[in-house]
Amino acid sequence: MLAMKETCEKCTSSLLPTGTAYICSYECTFCESCNEDELKEVCPNCNGNLVLRPKRIEKPK
């Protein structure tokens, strides 16, 4: 199962499971602002592509 990290690895802003975030294949996680302003869809840890993280939707009870 995909690890839904709760903070951006660059600026430490909070990330909700239903919010927008970007990940690489190693699940490094970054917020939309860091990706757009600085990272330009390249992970600074592994140089892999950053892609839009899927949103986790709560199951109805």
The model's pTM? 0.89
| Nearest-angstrom CA–CA distance, 37 and 2 | 25
pLDDT at 60: 75
User: Please, are residues 50 and 23 in contact by the beta-carbon 8 Å criterion?
Assistant: yes
pLDDT in tens, the chain (61 residues): 888 999 999 999 999 988 999 999 999 999 999 999 999 999 999 999 999 999 888 777 7
Whether CATH 3.30.450 fits 1-54: no
Domain ranges for the chain, please list them: 1-54
